[in-house]
Amino acid sequence: MPTMSANPTRPTIASPGDGALIRVRGLRTVLNGKTIFDGVDLDIPRGGITAIMGPSGTGKTTLMRHITGQLAPDAGEIIVDGRDVARIGREELFGLREKIGYLFQNSALLTDYSVFENVAFPLRQHLKLPEELVRNIVLTKLQAVGLRGAAELMPSELSGGMMRRVALARAIVRDPMMIIYDEPFVGLDPIALNQILKLIRTLNETLGITSILVAHELAAVRRVADHIYLLAAGRIAAHGAPDDLARGETPWTRQFFSGEADGPVPFHYPAPDYAAQLGLATPASARPAESKA
Amino acid sequence: MSAVHKPNSAFDGIAQIGACGIFLLQILAAVPRSLRYFRETVRQVWFVGAMSLVIIMISGLFVGMVLGLQLYDVLSRFGATAASGTVVAFALYRELGPVVTALLFAGRAGTSITAEIGLMRATDQLDAMEMMAVDPLAYVVAPRFLAGIAAMPLLACLFNALAILGAHGVCVSWLGMDNGTFWSNMTSSIDVWKDVMSGVWKSAAFGAVVTLIATFQGYTTAPTSEGVAYATTRTVVFSSIVTLALDFVMTAFLM
């Protein structure tokens, strides 16, 4: 059964308890006057694949930025591998980041470097390895994402899906303790999608890497994730095993996983009266319902 | 409506100056860490220095030619054309060389630094470096800052050399002034430490200021195309104003 909050109120953390690599408690964030998180609690288990899902604009990427120390919260604590990332110094934070692979939503490849040099970049910056070893590691990772033959191309010569795969190779090049995949499936054709799903699962099973997936594709997420957190309205609306959540036993999961416009998550951004904005006369009784249209 | 924050009050302007000052301290703190990226610094010297050679040399040649022509005309009214070379050299070494080079440097190298770093910001490349535990201040900003300081005096010296050649061409080859008089009056009047080196110090300071403004504008730009365009414009405007103001202050101290 998914653990849920109907309103949503703060959920009871059902898993994973003491084995958590990441522990978030009472997270509160306000950006540009808008409350993004209002008391988020969650645990990411060590060695598992956890998916963070939710409607667009609910702060999934912002949550990842908190976890990696790119953004400090207004309140609450974020413990990653035993360290509160909002309170550690820059050196310690960089030390922690060396153990984290991050796949950016827009790939964020270094545009002046070739595919090979992009993947080799973390190795060259932190490890003094012989050139032959660097070459072998990079080619191994590029082979894993199916782009060994594109090693000498520049990022401007790649499609969006290929750029994501290069970014993925870069994220895993140092075999990190944890990998954060921010929208990893966008722009992938079915063949590439299947291979990337297998790669995520293989990395998790063979190296014990903790994985966090930020994604919208439920079908893909169900194939790899062990646990899903559903973010909505600044809180954890529900969490649990993928199959349990997909049954849609709460209003939040029902609406999100079936893609309905009606439900607790409004499809429309808050707006003034539609008819009035179009310059049409509106019956007084129709006005209050407009914001839900 | 524009998403770019444009400073629109005195308070915003002061806040920008304060932020730029803090940014300078961060760069200086990052300089020791940037020494491990020495190759990147050398690459940037080539990029901001060698790539600016053509515009600096052509501009220097024409500035010298105009200067020679004007001074010869004015000095001939007082029967003092023999001093043309000397006055040209004084004007170039002390003022025109460093200042005009800095203005050209801001237009050529400053804008490209701002646009490059601004696009890196807009495409999350700086964030990606941070996530790979690579400090962008040490890897991206400090090498450009050091390259600006190193390249500007060299560019100013080349500017001066080409300008004096241009003035020589006009005064001696065209207007018939005696070649020996041109050079001997110049070399006997110019003091290397007082005149030439004051220009070198000035140009190093201008290089620091222009690259500081360029990197600051790029690093803090709004991550949009309009934001990058606006930051690039601000680099030229602020660099030009600060260069001219700093020139006055340094002249007052160096004289």
Q: In angstroms, what CA-CA distances link A201 with A144, A177, A209, A226, A243? A: 13, 14, 9, 10, 17
> What is the pTM assigned to this prediction?
0.83
- HSE (side-chain half, CA atoms, 13 Å) at A39: 7
Q: What is the pLDDT of residues A109-168, one digit of tens each?
A: 999 999 999 999 999 998 989 999 999 999 999 998 889 999 999 999 998 888 988 998
Q: Distance (Å, rounded) from C-alpha B214 to C-alpha A196?
A: 40
Closest residue to A121, CB basis, from B130, B132, B135: B132
Q: What is the pLDDT of residues A35-61, one digit of tens each?
A: 889 888 999 999 899 999 988 888 898
Contact A155, A121 (CB under 8 A): no
- Asked if the interface predicted TM-score (ipTM) of this complex is over 0.90, the answer is no
Closest CA to A98 of B34, B137, B129: B129
Q: Distance (Å, rounded) from C-alpha B101 to C-alpha B152?
A: 8
pLDDT at A203 over 90: no
Question: Is A70's CB within 8 Å of B128's CB?
Answer: no
Computed over every residue of chain A, the mean pLDDT equals 83
Interface of chain B toward chain A, CB-CB under 8 angstroms: 119, 123-125, 127-128, 130-135
pLDDT at A281 over 80: no
Whose tokens are 């600016």? That residue is: B52
Tokens describing residue B117: 């770093």
In chain B, which residues have pLDDT < 50? 1-4
- Model pLDDT, residue A105: 83
Q: How far is B99 from chain A (nearest CA, A)?
A: 32
Q: How far is A47 from chain B (nearest CA, A)?
A: 21
- Model pLDDT, residue A288: 52
Position A285 confidence tier, pLDDT thresholds 50, 70, 90: low
Q: How far is A121 from chain B (nearest CA, A)?
A: 9
Q: Contacts of residue A122 in chain B, CB cutoff 8 Å?
A: 132-134
Q: If you count residue pairs, one on A and one on B, with CB atoms under 8 Å apart, how many are there?
A: 45
The pLDDT of A248-265, averaged and rounded, is 75
Sign of the C-alpha dihedral computed for residues A131, A133, A137 and A143 taken in this order: positive
Question: Is A104's CB within 8 Å of B135's CB?
Answer: no
Q: In angstroms, what CA-CA distances link A93 with A17, A179, B45, B129, B237? A: 24, 16, 31, 13, 37
Tokens describing residue A69: 């120390």
Cα angle A6, A236, A37; round to 5: 120
Helix, strand, or coil (residue A88) = coil
Sequence ranges of the domains in chain B: 29-254
DSSP notation for B16-79: HHHHHHHHHHHHHHHHHHHGGGHHHHHHHHHHHTGGGHHHHHHHHHHHHHHHHHHHHHHHHTTT
Q: Distance (Å, rounded) from C-alpha A201 to C-alpha A195?
A: 10
Q: Distance (Å, rounded) from C-alpha B2 to C-alpha A71?
A: 25
Question: What is the 3-class SS of A106-167, one letter each residue?
Answer: CCCCCCCCCHHHHHHHHHHHHCCCCHHHHHHHHHHHHHHCCCHHHCCCCHHHCCHHHHHHHH
Whose tokens are 């009035």? That residue is: A276
Phi, then psi, of B214 in degrees rounded to 5: -65, -45
Q: Distance (Å, rounded) from C-alpha A193 to C-alpha A198?
A: 9
- Model pLDDT, residue B3: 44
Whose tokens are 């082979």? That residue is: A143
Closest CA to B136 of B147, B126, B146: B126
Instruction: Write out the H or E segment, with its range, that includes residue B160.
Output: helix B142-168
In CATH terms, A3-292 corresponds, of 3.40.430.10, 3.40.50.300, 3.30.465.10, 3.40.50.12170, to 3.40.50.300
pLDDT at A223 over 90: no
- Model pLDDT, residue A130: 93
Q: Distance (Å, rounded) from C-alpha B75 to C-alpha B87?
A: 10
- Model pLDDT, residue B151: 95
- Amino acid identity of residue B61, one-letter, is L
Q: How far is B214 from chain A (nearest CA, A)?
A: 19
Question: Residue A35: beta bridge partners?
Answer: A30
Instruction: Provide the angle, in degrees to the nearest 10, between the axes of the packed helices B142-168 and B111-122.
Output: 160
- Model pLDDT, residue A14: 40
- Amino acid identity of residue A59, one-letter, is G
Q: Distance (Å, rounded) from C-alpha A253 to C-alpha A201?
A: 24
Position A274 confidence tier, pLDDT thresholds 50, 70, 90: confident
Q: Does A97 touch chain B (CB under 8 A)?
A: yes
The pLDDT of A24-44, averaged and rounded, is 89
pLDDT at A278 over 90: no
pLDDT at A3 over 70: no
Tokens describing residue A253: 């999961």
How does A1-15 read in b/e, with b if 16+ C-beta sit within 10 Å? ebbbbeebeebebeb
Sequence ranges of the domains in chain A: 3-292
Contact A21, A45 (CB under 8 A): yes
